[in-house]
Amino acid sequence: MPTAAEREAQAKAAIEAAKAPPVEDFKPSSLNQKGKDFPAVNSERRIRARVVAPDAHSVALDIGAVKYPLTKGEDGAWVGASIPQDAGFHYYQIVVDGAQVPDPNSLYFYGASRWGSGVEVPATDQDFYALKNVPHGQLRETPFYSKRSDAVLRCFVYTPPDYEKNPAKRYPVLYLQHGGGEDETGWGSQGKTGLIMDNLIAAGKTKPFIIVMASSYVPGAQMGPPRPPAPAAQPGAATRPAGAGGMPRFNFSAFERVLLDELIPFVDANFRTQADQLHRAMAGLSMGGMQTKQITLANLDKFSHIGIFSGGSIASSDITDIDGFKKSVKLVFVSYGSRERGATGKTNVEALQQAGVKSVFYESPDTAHEWLSWRRSLYQFAPLLFQE
């Protein structure tokens, strides 16, 4: 992990590199507000921002852990570009006279424990999450009451395209968790879950199933003050915005109890589910992957398929009864971006395979700890589910 001095040097180098003239083939990001031309992305994957702030003294584009200074024009608009960014989704902010604010040109997304801006850099394989002329499922915003929390909580539920057509048909369920500093909107919005599933189902590559996306931040989950902010990532390699403070410490068992005692019974009572262990899966990214590991290993009578995306892995030493595990668990799936530290996960998957556990390791090419890694992970994971 780079030191503070190394990160500062990397940021300065990125700012200098961004002064090079870009290729002038910029196109508006697909995540812009209607009619807005900026931010824009060119064929080099550089991002250009334009912000009208005639009374400001300084404006910068804060993306990939670097604040790129913008230049003020005679029309009062500040314009500038970044160095090339990874393909996929990026959080970013505009810094106006030292204050970080969302860009008024973009749609807003919840990440790093706040609502902020997002920009999409087209990926060469973006077809798998593209909006196509295929049958589409529904992404339903669903409130549910939690007695443990004494509150009405919210989840999002994806139902497949044919859910409304056959009232007698029941479906397996995947419980899919977000990462630290994100919420229940993440997988449906940044993650493109509905489009990924619609396209897979239309191509006959996966069985239709329901996906439930809930917030891990239930009352009682946070334990004490936040940790110090994590070190900024290498310039150009991260999607999480800088300067938002550290992520809080969490008691995963608080969400575990809401999930097991309230959310799963609610979903089984209100949706046409196959309400048994064989037809129930859990997966998550980053912090959600860590939660998935803890919750599933402690409740093998509830989940038969396990997915951990950039959030650790399951080692043979984590399993006390390997014969019982093999009978209960039909799949362990572990994934990382190629620029993450996924070697241990791959080794653990290979050890599970040798022990007779159906286990799969996937590495997303040319990505780090970011949404394109996790979109690809879901795309690889979904066809493996509920095949028995």
Please check the confidence at residue 237 and state whether its pLDDT lies above 50.
no
Of the options 3.40.640.10, 3.40.50.360, 2.60.40.10, 3.30.1490.20, the CATH number for the domain spanning 4-122: 2.60.40.10
Alpha carbons 244 and 100: distance in angstroms, whole number: 9
Instruction: Count the alpha carbons within 13 Å of 26 in the hemisphere toward its beta carbon.
Output: 19
Domain boundaries, the chain: 4-122, 127-384
Q: What is the DSSP letter of 254?
A: H
Handedness of CA 219, 223, 224, 230 (dihedral sign): negative
Please check the confidence at residue 233 and state whether its pLDDT lies above 60.
no
* Nearby residues of 121 by Cβ (< 8 Å), 6 or more positions away: 41, 45, 47, 85, 86, 87, 88, 89, 90
User: Fold match between 4-122 and 127-384?
Assistant: no
pLDDT at 167: 93
Please check the confidence at residue 19 and state whether its pLDDT lies above 60.
yes
pLDDT at 228: 52
pLDDT tens digits, residue range 120-151? Answer: 999 999 999 999 999 999 999 999 999 999 99
pLDDT tens digits, residue range 274-292? Answer: 999 999 999 999 999 999 9
What would be the CATH architecture of the domain defined by 127-384?
A: 3-Layer(aba) Sandwich (3.40)
Instruction: Say what the pTM is.
Output: 0.92
Give the number of other Cβ atoms within 10 Å of residue 34's Cβ. Answer: 5
Q: Which residue has the higher pLDDT, 234 or 2?
A: 2
